[in-house]
Structure 1
Amino acid sequence: MSSLPDAPATHRNREPILTQLDKYLTAPSTVLEIGSGTGQHAVHFASHLPHVTWIPTELSANLSGVEAWRQQSGLANLMESLVLDVSQPWPEGLAVDHIFTANTTHIMPSDAVERLFQGAGRQLPAKGYLFLYGPFKYDGQFTSASNAAFDLQLRQRAAHQGIRDIEQLIAWAGDAGMLLVADHTMPANNQFLVFQRTE
């Protein structure tokens, strides 16, 4: 276990996220996770939601860690990891009911976030959910001083990074045929956003 990649934040946020997912993922379904990171979320959610088939994805350079966690878990409902770059064509033949992503929109370039919404709009069936977890701005304002400091840190690290405005996300979602149907406040100044495909 010690040789597996470990993201400390997952230990803090996985239970609050699971609590929200459990409200929406009540029926057997397939969830595509975009940007699975270390793979720890995928293992945790698949293990606690046995009626859900979980498909982790990552950029090719980061896939080995996700696969290591998946193989170690031995979970039958946790599928083999796929390479997915939202700015490139998505894998062919995907049949998913919902999409989940955590702490990715402030890392991706803005145009990649827009493409995430475009891809989700194409991929999701009617009434399918897109779940977004992370920090967001409202009316251009940060929800906390710590988020403002985090945004500065992100922008100093890479000019294309930064906490996104929820109004922009809602606009991109609308262009892709989705509506924001819920916005849950989470610990550590994060949000759990629920978008739904309208048709």
Structure 2
Amino acid sequence: MKQHAPATLRNREPIAAVLAQELPAQGTLLEIAAGTGEHAVFFAERFPALHWQPTDPSPEALASIAAYRADYPGTNLAAPLLLDASAPGSWPIDEAAAILCINMVHISPWEATQGLFRGAARILGRSGGPLILYGPYLEQGLQTAPSNLEFDASLKARNPHWGLRQAEAVDALAAQHGMVRTARHAMPANNIILFYRSA
């Protein structure tokens, strides 16, 4: 039932260090594309004042998240909800203090990122909280690591609608929804974290 993503153990501490600088003190954190659920359990424990709400479009992922949650001793990790960012329509939550999305933008069609910003602009509007994206990106004026170029090629070979996105294209999409990038943090293994808030 439980799934395991090896990268989680490698990146969770660096991500948590950045989140500690930027997350609101309390409220609901909506995690989009929570995957195995390992991040959700780790971050819920690290930030006990936040109500952690994991979501994913995959039934297998939802089952894995639920299995990890069953062993979680805290009370701030909610049962996972089905949410497909690319699908039109309402999300199963109407308001959040922050949204976190790890490693989805490059492993999904562009429509998923479009839906992510459309939903984020709506449910973060009242709180003014951040939309937080983690993963590898292409950036104008910065040389892309060979390993990221190889990763990009492998993703496109698996699915032509996948692949590393230009950070500037994400910025432009954010602007369409009244949001602006407010922070960029360099991370290990040629990843970055981008923060977006209502302009």
Whether the TM-score (by the shorter chain) exceeds 0.5 is yes
Could you tell me which of 29, 36, 40 is aligned with 1:31? 29
Q: TM-score, normalised by structure 1?
A: 0.93
Q: Which runs of 4+ in 1 moved over 4 A?
A: none
Following superposition, the deviation at residue 117 of structure 1 comes to 0.9
Going from structure 1 to structure 2, the CA distance change for 1:14 and 1:90 (only over 3 Å counts) comes to farther
Question: CA contact under 8 A between 1:136 and 1:165: conserved in structure 2?
Answer: yes
Give CA-to-partner distance per residue, 1:96-150, whole Å, 9 cap, x none.
Answer: 1110010000011012211111111111135210000000001286520100000
* Equivalent residue number for residue 4 of structure 1: 2
Identity across the alignment (%): 41
Q: Which amino acid aligns with 2:155?
A: L
The equivalent residue for 2:43 is 45
- CA gap of 1:93–1:13, structure 2 versus 1, over 3 A, is closer
Q: Measure how far apart 1:70 and its partner are.
A: 1.0
User: How far off its partner does 1:71 sit?
Assistant: 1.3
**What CA distance in whole angstroms lies between the structure 1 residues aligned with 2:23 and 2:122?**
20
Residues 150-182 of structure 1 deviation map (CA, whole Å, 9 limit, x = unaligned): 000000011111000001100111111111000
TM-score normalised per structure 2: 0.93
Answering whether residue 93 of structure 2 is matched by residue 64 of structure 1, we say no
Where 1:137 maps in the other structure, the secondary structure is: coil
Matched to 1:128, the amino acid is: G
Determine the structure 2 residue equivalent to 1:94: 94
Partner of 1:16: 14
Residues in 2 aligned to 1:74 and 1:94: alpha-carbon distance in whole angstroms: 27
Tell me, yes or no, if the aligned pair for 2:178 and 2:198 is still in contact at 8 Å: yes
User: Which residues of 2 match residues 125-140 of structure 1 at below 5 A?
Assistant: 125-139=126-140
Show structure 1 runs of 5+ residues with no match: none
SS in 1 for 2:149: helix
